[in-house]
Amino acid sequence: MMDSIVIGSYFAWDVKSLLLFLAVFILTTDYIKNRRPVSFPPGPWALPVVGNMFTVDHSRTHESLTELGRKYGDVFSLRMGSVWMVVLNRFEVLKEALVTQGDSLAERPDLPLQVEIVHKLGINFSNGNTWKQQRRFALSTLRNFGFAKKSLEPVILDEFTYCAEEFISNKGAPFNPHLTINNAVSNIICSLVFGHRFEYGDKMFMKMMKLLPKGLQIQGSIWAQFYNSFPLLMKHLPGPHQTVQHIWSEVKDFIRAEVKEHKQNWDPLDQRDYIDCYLNEMNKGQVESSFEEETLVMSILDLFVAGSETTSSTLRWAFLYMADNPEIQEKVQAEIDLVIGQSRRPCMEDRANLPYTDAVIHEVQRIANIIPLSLPRFTNRDLHLGEYTIPKGVTVITNLTSVMFDENEWEAPFTFNPGHFLTEEGTFVKKPAFIPFSAGKRICPGETLAKMELFLFFTSFMQCFIFSMPAGVKPVMKQSFSIILAPHPYEICATPR
């Protein structure tokens, strides 16, 4: 009996010793394996295994990283799981990294969740020869179809007419503009890529418009970060990270249906749109070509996402800020009435003569801060920033929020103030720190199109409608955090002028 007690007690202590040993071993191994390299940027202390996963508030990641930047400096590091990343803050640091040393940050990291979705194909998350070929082809082809040219203006303005009819049908009553604006903006890229627009009542198209923001929201959440940090584990666990893959699968199937239809009716002598031109490129049979059907699908997915949700969200923010600042809205409309009047539609040539309107559009982009962290970069060689060295193979986050709300760059960064883009004489001036499309070699390829859409849509809306909140309702400027910062769902009144 006594022997049994002694053996049991010994066994209990033996198990405790083993667990203690394992705990110390794991902690020691984690520390040795994951300690910051020499000359690596400083940052908050990281927990074993999970690192700084819970240091960051993932419901407001951009603000959380900006706050950490104030504590640890403009260049600081975080560890997500066992993966190190570096966050860059403020304009001068971003300019040095993205422009002066831009060759060091010309690649994207292979984030496991993103790899599962796009398989390192397309435009936004490909690298090397694939990225160069796909980006060059996209820009040149879309330019041939009117991208950033005067010939695209009627397409945008005609789409505004359809959108305006939807707004008018509400007869000044409160309504949610989200889907209608999404449809209108998306139809521009659809016209270029698919060769046709979709009716606002098209069920499949409406479904796609609802899926896009949901997919982006999940990809900006902590679930995506967990997947990227622990892919082998998360791949087998249920959760939103599984849902997001189903979402993008549906969107890709929608695109594949368009590609299939184009292949059935393809005529190499009749290049109607982006898909036709791509099919023609595929049939050239060039050596080391990245032009394949699946790459086409992923490229269209990139164009579709980048060409819809960003501009749509910016316009929805614009409606809110106009309703919240009626005196600014009146001043914009007075300028439009003076320069354009009510008898003709706006055109891009009017922009130079509408400095206040242009300043308002830029201020909406600045304060809305649509893509607060841009898309991640990846060092393909050592990057030297001041006293720090970021070695090859590290993910870099460029915190655009720290630039858009920097008190050293903007007179009143947290106030909606078009004066940020005006001289004392009322002339429009664009400040160097205004970089909503990022900078350097990976600058957003749709920048020119977005600028054209924003100007023509916003000016047309201001020419035709007065925006106000429903009686007794105040605008809520709260952001819905995602890869793209959209406003929370709201209802607004659009009264024809």
**What are the pLDDT digits (tens) for 156-170?**
999 999 999 999 999
Q: What is the pTM of this model?
A: 0.91
Distance CA 124, CA 225 (A): 19
**What are the pLDDT digits (tens) for 90-147?**
999 999 999 999 999 999 999 999 999 999 999 999 999 999 999 999 999 888 876 6
Strands, sheet with 83-88, edge to edge from the N-terminal-most edge strand:
75-80, 83-88, 395-398, 377-378
Distance CA 227, CA 53 (A): 12
Q: What is the phi/psi pair of residue 236, to 5°?
A: -105, 5
Q: What is the pLDDT of residue 271?
A: 87
Comparing CA positions, the residue from 208, 200, 194 lying closest to residue 261 is 194
Is the model's pLDDT at 261 over the cut of 90?
yes
Q: What is the pLDDT of residue 285?
A: 73
Is the model's pLDDT at 17 over the cut of 80?
no
Please compute the mean of the pLDDT values over residues 68-72 and round it to a whole number. 96
What residues contact 237, with CB distance under 8 A and at least 6 apart?
A: none
Q: What is the pLDDT of residue 361?
A: 98
CB 203 within 8 A of CB 184: no
Q: What is the phi/psi pair of residue 450, to 5°?
A: -60, -45
H or E segment at 495?
strand 493-496
DSSP string spanning 295-347?
A: HHHHHHHHHHHHTTHHHHHHHHHHHHHHHH-HHHHHHHHHHHHHHT-SSS---
Is the model's pLDDT at 1 over the cut of 60?
no
Distance CA 346, CA 355 (A): 14
DSSP H helical segments within 145-198, as ranges?
153-168, 178-193
| Amino acid making up residue 78 | L
**What are the pLDDT digits (tens) for 290-347?**
999 999 999 999 998 887 889 999 999 999 999 999 999 999 999 999 999 998 999 9
**What are the pLDDT digits (tens) for 218-244?**
999 999 999 999 999 999 999 999 999
Extents of the domains making up the chain = 1-35, 61-496
**Fold assignment, 61-496:** Cytochrome p450 (1.10.630)
Is the model's pLDDT at 25 over the cut of 80?
no
Comparing CA positions, the residue from 129, 109, 125 lying closest to residue 228 is 109
| Beta strand ranges found along 55-145 (DSSP E) | 75-80, 83-88
What residues contact 158, with CB distance under 8 A and at least 6 apart?
A: none
Q: Rounded to an integer, what is the distance from CA 271 to the centroid of its chain?
A: 30
Torsion of CA 313, 318, 319, 320, to 10 degrees: 90
**What are the pLDDT digits (tens) for 34-44?**
677 788 999 99
Q: What is the pLDDT of residue 428?
A: 97
Strand, helix or coil at 49?
Answer: coil
Q: Rounded to an integer, what is the distance from CA 347 to the centroid of its chain?
A: 27
